[in-house]
Amino acid sequence: MTNPIYINQKEIQKRYKQPGKHTHKGIQGHALIIGGSYGKIGAVSLSAKACLKTGCGLVTVFIPKCGYTILQTAIPEVMVLTDIQEEKISNITFEIAPQAIGIGPGLGQKIETQKALHQFLKTNKTSLVIDADALNILSQNKEWLSLVPPKTILTPHPKELERLIGKWYSEEEKINNTISFSKQHQVIIVMKGAPTQIIDGETVYENTTGNAALATAGSGDVLTGMITSLLAQSYEPISAAILGVYLHGLTADIALPETGYQSFIASDVIANIGKAFLSITV
Ligand SMILES: NC(=O)C1=CN([C@@H]2O[C@H](COP(=O)(O)OP(=O)(O)OC[C@H]3O[C@@H](n4cnc5c(N)ncnc54)[C@H](OP(=O)(O)O)[C@@H]3O)[C@@H](O)[C@H]2O)[C@@H](O)CC1
Ligand SMILES: Nc1ncnc2c1ncn2[C@@H]1O[C@H](COP(=O)(O)OP(=O)(O)O)[C@@H](O)[C@H]1O
Ligand SMILES: [Mg+2]
C-alpha cells in the first residue's frame, strides 16, 4: 500500500499563507454555500459560519425560502439568496461570481433537487467542494461526475464513500479503489474518518489532528465551510483540503481539555478556529 504523507505542522507551514497587510474583503475571496432543506437549514448555517471564520471576505448562501429568516438572524454577516421553492432547492441561479462553491450540506435528495444539481453542474465553472446529499445524488447518477471541474474536492464520510465507490473488504482495497476513482474522475477525495485521509491521484495524505469529540452532528458540514473558504481565498485545491482538515481536527484537540469528548458540538469547532489558526502561525 502507498505510504501516506502525514499532515503535520511541517506540512502545514509549507502551505499556509498569511493574509496581506493591505488585503480587503474584496480580495479575501467570496464563497457560496448551496444547501439546506426543511429541517436541515442548520447544516448550511454551520457551513457558512465556519466559512467566514476561516477567513473568507464574503460569504453568500443559496437556500430554500424557509431558511431565509433563520440564516439572516443566526449569522448577520452572511448574505442570503433563496430558491423559488419554500422547502427544497429546485433551481440554482445566482448573479454573483464566487471564487469557490460548497454544495450539499442539508440539501436533501428530492427529485427536483437532483434535477437542480444536474443543471447546476452542466453550467458551473467555479471551483467546487461537494459534500453530503450532493455526493449522494452523484452516487445515484455517476455519469454526472464528468461534469465536475478537475480538482473538485469531494468530502465523503465512510457511508457516502461506499455509495460512491462501492463496498470494500479491507483498508487496502478501500484506498486502492479510492485512488482509482480519484484518477478516473480527476477529483480530490477527503475520506473523512479517524483519521481522515486525503487522496489526490496516487498521493495519499493522512491527518494527524482531531479526536472522537468530532463524532457529533454537523462537524462535517463545518469542514465543508472551512475547505470552501480556503479555496475561495486562492489556496490550491489540495492545499485547501489539507489545511482545512488539519485546522478542523486541531479545534477539537484545543477544546478537549475544556469540553471533554461529550459536550463538544459542531459550534465548538467554529468557536476554536481562531485558536487553531494562532497555533499554526507561532
Ligand atoms: N443540523 C443539521 O441540519 C444537520 C444536517 N445534516 C445533514 O443531514 C443529511 C444526511 O447526512 P447524514 O450523514 O446524517 O446521513 P447519511 O448519509 O445517511 O449517513 C449516516 C450513516 O452513515 C454512516 N456513517 C456516518 N459516519 C460514519 C463513520 N464515521 N463511520 C462509519 N459509518 C458512518 C452510518 O451508517 P451505519 O453505520 O448506521 O450503517 C450513519 O447511519 C446531510 O445533508 C447532512 O448534511 C447532518 O450533517 C447532521 C446535522
Ligand atoms: N472518532 C473520530 N475521530 C476523529 N474525527 C472524527 C471522529 N468521528 C467523526 N470525525 C470527524 O467528524 C466529521 C464528521 O463528518 P460527517 O459525518 O459528514 O458529519 P455531519 O454530516 O453530521 O456534519 C469528519 O470530519 C470526521 O473525520
Ligand atoms: Mg456530513
Under 8 Å between Cβ of 84 and 90:
yes
The predicted-structure confidence for 122-170, as pLDDT tens digits, reads as follows 999 999 999 999 999 999 999 999 999 999 999 999 999 999 999 999 9
CA distances from 212 to 90, 200, 215, 261 (A): 36, 25, 5, 6
pLDDT of residue 1: 60
Is the minimum distance from the CB of 43 to ligand 1 under 6 angstroms? Answer: yes
Which backbone phi and psi does 4 adopt, to 5 degrees? -75, 155
- 132 CB near ligand 1 (under 6 Å): yes
How far apart are the CA of 3 and the centre of ligand 1, in A?
29
User: For atom 46 of ligand 1, which residue has the closest CA?
Assistant: 218
Low-confidence ranges of the chain (pLDDT < 70): 1-2
pLDDT of residue 26: 87
Q: Decide whether any atom of ligand 1 lies within 6 Å of the 105 Cβ.
A: yes
Give the ligand 2 atom nearest the CA of 266. Answer: 23
How far is residue 222 from each of residues 48, 83, 91, 217, 257, measured CA to CA in Å? 8, 22, 24, 10, 21
| Whole-model pTM over 0.90 | yes
Write down the CATH number for the domain with range 5-281: 3.40.1190.20
Alpha-carbon distance values, 196 to 19, 137, 203, 209, 278 (Å): 27, 22, 14, 9, 22
Binding residues for AMP are: 192-196, 220
**Which residue ranges have their beta carbon within 6 Å of ligand 2?**
132, 157, 192-194, 196, 210-212, 214-215, 217-221, 223
Domain boundaries, the chain: 5-281
Residue 173 has a pLDDT of: 98
* DSSP letters for 176-199: HHHHHHHHHHTEEEEE-SSS-EEE
pLDDT score recorded for residue 281: 87
